[in-house]
């Protein structure tokens, strides 16, 4: 029996007045970050990695803004992501699928002109066949495993492919690529070791352009940049490495709505498990964001929100739909029902939140939930 398209199962986020959280995405800052990276890696080209819905920020808004800013190379993880993004991009934009070529997906991939990153001999063989079936040359990226042991051809398979005449005849290689395991630690010797191994393997495919660097790699020396750099997280404002001040502009601002404020006597417990106990009379504000919105439970009794520049520590555990803050540092009556507190913004960076949560900025971004009211501002218009 034919399976029917499933209807939408999502409850709508509602309008600004209904939302418990407000997520503002600055597309001008996004474009500025792409421009900064593009200048840094020139003459290499600067792609954009927009997998996982552009790291949770909305690929259908983010990718066209980057295209308007001059970007033409877009990487996603899944073919389905590429197919849904394609109608929103200029016709000369190129879409690449990092996770490779799933069995059965050759035809839709080839017909749409989407470029798979081939990760094994078996995928290469199937892509060759798809090209022959289509009766025209077909393009691919070849991923070489330079030491991360995650995806890509091991050296023996790369050598076998390099001498495969029919592959060389049927498939046009746009790039050979690899991925760095430690690019966020510029001082790590693993970076140079991976670059050397990549160069040796890439030499099997002479005159094919090369791509090695992600965000962190863009801030490594120029011999890591090759022909195409593939930044993701730095575009979205996160620090590309652990080596000092973050050169990127913040893209994300997140605010949560206050839904109740109360005063509690000394000795009163707060939240599930009563893990916070007021050591003096305290004022507690409850905000309408919780772990279901991606505000991780690990932030319980660790993270904070800000109001008028004042740090308001999270008191007790993070609940599914709400968080309790100790707002005693604010004058009485300063914070009330309907006010907005800052979760990510000028007082608290994305990277700070990630550090408090014991994770990385990538996980904070990709966890941002569907219930926020999303505001896109500063749509890019100029190109660089
Ligand atoms: C996700 C990914 C990137 C982008 O990495 P960032 O660290 O976000 O810049 C680049 N290349 C590959 C293969 C990836 O999987």
Q: Residue 384 pLDDT more than 70?
A: no
- Locus of tokens 């941002």: 368
Give me the mean pLDDT over the 288-311 stretch: 98
Q: Residue 5 pLDDT more than 70?
A: no
Contact 20, 259 (CB under 8 A): yes
Q: pLDDT digits over 40-55, tens only?
A: 999 999 999 999 999 9
Please give the distance, rounded to the nearest whole angstrom, from the Cα atom of residue 325 to the centre of ligand 1. Answer: 35
Ligand 1 atom with least separation from CA of 214: 9
The SS3 of residue 160 is helix
Give me the mean pLDDT over the 336-352 stretch: 98
Please give the distance, rounded to the nearest whole angstrom, from the Cα atom of residue 382 to the centre of ligand 1. Answer: 26
Which residue among 179, 220, 239 has the greatest number of ligand 1 atoms within 8 angstroms of its CB, and so is best to mutate?
Answer: 179
Give me the mean pLDDT over the 90-111 stretch: 97
CB of 182 shorter than 6 A to ligand 1: no
* CA angle (179, 357, 241) in 5-degree steps: 35
Please give the distance, rounded to the nearest whole angstrom, from the Cα atom of residue 323 to the centre of ligand 1. Answer: 32
pLDDT cut 70: percent of the chain above it: 96
CB of 237 shorter than 6 A to ligand 1: no
Q: pLDDT digits over 212-249, tens only?
A: 999 999 999 999 999 999 999 999 999 999 998 999 99
CB of 73 shorter than 6 A to ligand 1: no
Q: pLDDT digits over 363-378, tens only?
A: 999 999 999 999 999 9
Q: pLDDT digits over 166-221, tens only?
A: 999 999 999 999 999 999 999 999 999 999 999 999 999 999 999 999 999 999 99
Q: Residue 1 pLDDT more than 50?
A: no
Give me the mean pLDDT over the 348-364 stretch: 98
* Residues sharing a CB contact under 8 Å with residue 153, sequence separation 6 or more, in sequence order: 118, 119, 120, 121, 142, 143, 144, 145, 161, 201
pTM over 0.85: yes
Q: 187 burial class (0-12, 13-18, 19+ CB within 10 angstroms)?
A: exposed
CB of 215 shorter than 6 A to ligand 1: yes
Q: Residue 11 pLDDT more than 80?
A: no
Query: In this predicted structure, which of 14-18, 141-145, 273-277 has the lowest mean pLDDT?
Result: 14-18
- Position 4 confidence tier, pLDDT thresholds 50, 70, 90: low
Give me the mean pLDDT over the 344-364 stretch: 98
Contact 82, 97 (CB under 8 A): yes
Catalytic (active-site) positions = 51, 272
The confidence score (pLDDT) of residue 16 equals 79
SS3 content of the chain, % helix, strand, coil (to 5): 30, 25, 45
The confidence score (pLDDT) of residue 25 equals 98
Q: Whole-angstrom Cα distance, residue 182 to residue 185?
A: 6
Q: Residue 121 pLDDT more than 90?
A: yes
Mean per-residue pLDDT of the chain: 95
**Cα maximum dimension of the chain:** 79
């Amino acid at each position: 029996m034919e399976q029917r398209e499933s209807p939408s199962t999502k409850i709508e986020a509602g309008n600004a007045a209904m939302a418990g959280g407000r997520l503002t995405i600055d597309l001008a800052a996004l474009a500025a970050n792409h421009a900064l990276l593009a200048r840094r890696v020139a003459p290499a080209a600067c792609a954009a990695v927009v997998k996982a819905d552009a790291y949770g920020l909305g690929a259908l808004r983010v990718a066209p803004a980057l295209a308007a800013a001059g970007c033409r190379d877009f990487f996603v993880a899944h073919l389905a992501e590429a197919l849904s993004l394609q109608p929103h991009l200029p016709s000369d934009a190129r879409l690449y699928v990092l996770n490779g070529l799933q069995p059965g997906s050759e035809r839709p991939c080839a017909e749409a002109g989407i470029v798979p990153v081939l990760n094994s001999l078996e995928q290469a063989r199937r892509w060759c066949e798809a090209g022959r079936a289509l009766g025209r040359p077909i393009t691919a990226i070849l991923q070489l495993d330079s030491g991360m042991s995650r995806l890509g051809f091991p050296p023996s398979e790369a050598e076998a492919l390099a001498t495969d005449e029919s592959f060389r005849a049927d498939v046009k290689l746009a790039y050979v690529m690899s991925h760095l395991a430690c690019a966020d630690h510029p001082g790590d010797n693993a970076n140079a070791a991976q670059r050397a191994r990549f160069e040796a393997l890439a030499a099997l495919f002479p005159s094919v352009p090369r791509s090695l660097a992600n965000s962190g790699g863009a801030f490594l020396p120029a011999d890591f940049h090759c022909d195409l750099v593939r930044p993701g997280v730095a575009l979205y404002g996160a620090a590309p490495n652990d080596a000092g001040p973050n050169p990127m502009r913040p893209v994300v601002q997140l605010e949560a709505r206050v839904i109740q404020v109360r005063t509690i006597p000394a000795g009163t417990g707060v939240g599930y498990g009563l893990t916070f106990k007021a050591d003096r009379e305290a004022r507690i504000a409850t905000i309408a964001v919780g772990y279901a919105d991606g505000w991780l439970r690990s932030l319980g009794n660790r993270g904070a929100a800000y109001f008028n520049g004042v740090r308001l520590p999270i008191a007790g555990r993070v609940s599914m739909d709400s968080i309790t803050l100790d707002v005693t540092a604010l004058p009485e009556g300063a914070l009330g029902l309907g006010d907005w507190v800052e979760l990510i913004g000028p007082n608290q960076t994305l990277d700070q939140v990630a550090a408090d949560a014991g994770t990385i900025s990538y996980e904070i971004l990709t966890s941002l939930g569907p219930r926020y009211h999303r505001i896109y501002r500063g749509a890019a218009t100029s190109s660089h």
